[in-house]
Amino acid sequence: MIQTWESTTVNKVQMYLIVLIYLIAIPLTIKASRDNKQPTSITQRIRECYQKQN
């Protein structure tokens, strides 16, 4: 029972982190594409943020 509780907590934390990264990454991507006048990959931006987190 403790194991399942821990795993669900970890899953929730990961989910919140992903949502948080999306919320940060999308405006950054929009701003960057406006500044650079060229589209930047959202997934690339998310990967960069995720690497900074870890």
Q: DSSP assignment of the chain, as one string?
A: -HHHHHHHHHHHHHHHHHHHHHHHHHHHHHHHHHHHTS---HHHHHHHHHHHH-
Task: Identify the pLDDT of residue 2.
Answer: 60
Task: Identify the pLDDT of residue 39.
Answer: 52
Task: Identify the pLDDT of residue 37.
Answer: 61
The tens place of each residue's pLDDT in the chain, 54 residues long, gives: 566 767 788 889 999 999 998 898 888 887 777 776 655 577 777 777 778 876
**Does residue 2 fall inside a structural domain?**
no
Count: domains in the chain = 1
Task: Identify the pLDDT of residue 17.
Answer: 92
**Does residue 5 fall inside a structural domain?**
no
**Does residue 50 fall inside a structural domain?**
yes
The domain of 42 spans 17-54
